[in-house]
């Protein structure tokens, strides 16, 4: 947190407005990071290192890679959420071998869990299995889970993501890998649905999420992330019986009723929503609506690389006085941190339903 804060860094502005004693309160809270995308959270220095070793085999020139990394370094300006997805091809190019993805995973785990003042006490890291010229989807997940398992189970676990842009066959392969690894006693605790919020027909994916749930995996779904997500799409996703929801920014009344009645935890990513412009401002963010109802929420970072945020920064947004933050009291923030810890995916037995 050394650069001067700007509008592009709302969490940094909030962080800088807090006193030392407020910061030490935030640092001391046990916090669970439940919504962090691996390839969106790689420290820039690690990507730069991977770029320096890049052979060019994947067709990107070194100049193109350097330009993309410079953009990330300066802080990305997103006009709308679709701009966000264009950041990933370069990152993917640099994490396309088992060694590179293992290096990236180690760095992400360290960035959240290690050091004198770790960002969080528990990390549920998520990633979308990718086939590359050097590895299969299964090898990709195995490389990641091997790194996750170097930490104790009470510190780190893996969620396997399915991308909305995938074919049904590819989604099925991802879920099968997650189930097989869980059944083999590996540290896979859930499946996620992510990717372009407007892509795909969710009805086609239901049976795979049913399989995951029956195998005892937790289910989290990016849902109603943009204003353009239809009620039909949202209700279809709620029929997957998720345990948690990512963002849930534009729930209509029918969806809200289900989410509230079923007490489904919402993973809240304040900086991500502000920078992707899916909320007008921090003060308009739906986190307060849910918190006032004592509905479970978990404060998360989403993608620390493009958003240049941290768990401490996200909690600073809760504590800082308006307009920089939401001005919540210490006891309220403690309650929110507890909700995050309570909504971790516990290891669950297979259900025969």
* C-alpha closest to that of 39 among 79, 88, 99, 107: 88
Window 200 to 239, contacts with ligand IMP (CB under 6 A): 222, 225
> According to DSSP H, which parts of 86-242 are helical?
88-94, 98-113, 137-148, 168-183, 206-214, 231-238
Q: Whose Cβ is closer to Zn ion: residue 302's or residue 314's?
A: 302
Our finding on whether 88 is near ligand IMP (CB under 6 A) is yes
Other beta carbons within 10 Å of 61:
10
Q: Which residues are catalytic?
A: 225
Q: Whose Cβ is closer to ligand IMP: residue 40's or residue 118's?
A: 40
Our finding on whether 163 is near ligand IMP (CB under 6 A) is yes
Only one residue has tokens 């407007």, namely 198
Distance between CA atoms of 42 and 153, rounded to whole angstroms? 22
Q: Whose Cβ is closer to ligand IMP: residue 26's or residue 36's?
A: 36
Query: CB under 5 to 8 A by kind: which of ligand IMP, Zn ion, none does 163 bind?
Result: ligand IMP
Peptide bond preceding 268 in cis form (omega within 30 of 0): no
Q: Whose Cβ is closer to ligand IMP: residue 90's or residue 343's?
A: 90
Only one residue has tokens 């037995």, namely 349
Our finding on whether 300 is near ligand IMP (CB under 6 A) is no
DSSP string over 176-207: HHHHHHHHTT-SEEEEEEES-TT-S-GGGGHH
Our finding on whether 303 is near ligand IMP (CB under 6 A) is yes
Kindly state the smallest distance separating residue 175's Cβ from Zn ion, in Å: 18
Tokens (6 digits) for 331: 């006891």
Q: What does the per-residue mask of binding to ligand IMP show for 21-40, with x meaning CB under 6 A?
A: ----------------xxxx
Distance between CA atoms of 181 and 347, rounded to whole angstroms? 13
- The phi, psi pair for 309, rounded to 5°, reads -115, 180
Q: What does the per-residue mask of binding to ligand IMP show for 106-145, with x meaning CB under 6 A?
A: ---------------------xx-----------------
Q: Whose Cβ is closer to Zn ion: residue 216's or residue 313's?
A: 313
Our finding on whether 272 is near ligand IMP (CB under 6 A) is yes
Window 265 to 324, contacts with Zn ion (CB under 5 A): 302
Query: CB under 5 to 8 A by kind: which of ligand IMP, Zn ion, none does 128 bind?
Result: ligand IMP
Contacting positions for Zn ion (CB under 5 A): 302
């Amino acid at each position: 947190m050394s650069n001067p804060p700007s509008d592009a860094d709302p969490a940094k502005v909030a962080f800088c407005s807090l006193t030392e004693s407020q910061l030490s309160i935030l640092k001391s809270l046990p916090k669970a990071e439940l919504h962090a995308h691996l390839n969106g959270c790689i420290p820039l220095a690690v990507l730069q290192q991977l770029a320096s070793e890049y052979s060019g085999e994947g067709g990107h020139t070194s100049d193109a890679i350097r330009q993309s990394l410079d953009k990330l370094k300066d802080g990305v300006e997103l006009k709308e959420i679709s701009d966000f997805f264009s950041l990933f091809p370069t990152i993917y190019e640099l994490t396309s071998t088992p060694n590179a993805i293992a290096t990236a995973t180690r760095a992400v785990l360290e960035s959240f869990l290690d050091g004198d003042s770790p960002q969080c006490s528990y990390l549920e890291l998520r990633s979308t299995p990718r086939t590359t010229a050097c590895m299969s989807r299964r090898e990709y997940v195995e490389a990641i889970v091997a790194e996750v398992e170097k930490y104790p189970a009470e510190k780190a676990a893996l969620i396997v993501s399915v991308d909305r842009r995938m074919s049904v066959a590819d989604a099925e392969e991802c879920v099968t890998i997650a189930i097989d690894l869980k059944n083999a006693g590996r540290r896979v605790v859930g499946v996620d649905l992510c990717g372009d919020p407007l892509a795909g027909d969710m009805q086609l994916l239901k049976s795979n999420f049913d399989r995951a749930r029956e195998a005892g995996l937790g289910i989290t779904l990016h849902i109603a992330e943009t204003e353009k997500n239809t009620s039909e799409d949202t209700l279809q996703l709620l029929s997957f019986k998720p345990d948690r929801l990512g963002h849930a920014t534009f729930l209509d009344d029918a969806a809200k009723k289900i989410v509230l009645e079923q007490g489904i935890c919402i993973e809240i990513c304040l900086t991500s929503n502000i920078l992707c412009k899916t909320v007008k401002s921090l003060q308009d963010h739906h986190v307060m609506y849910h918190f006032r109802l004592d509905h479970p929420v978990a404060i998360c970072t989403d993608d620390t690389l493009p958003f240049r945020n941290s768990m401490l920064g996200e909690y600073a947004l809760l504590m800082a006085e308006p307009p920089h933050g939401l001005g919540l009291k210490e006891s309220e923030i403690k309650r929110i941190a507890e909700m995050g810890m309570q909504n971790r995916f516990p290891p669950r037995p297979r259900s025969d339903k």
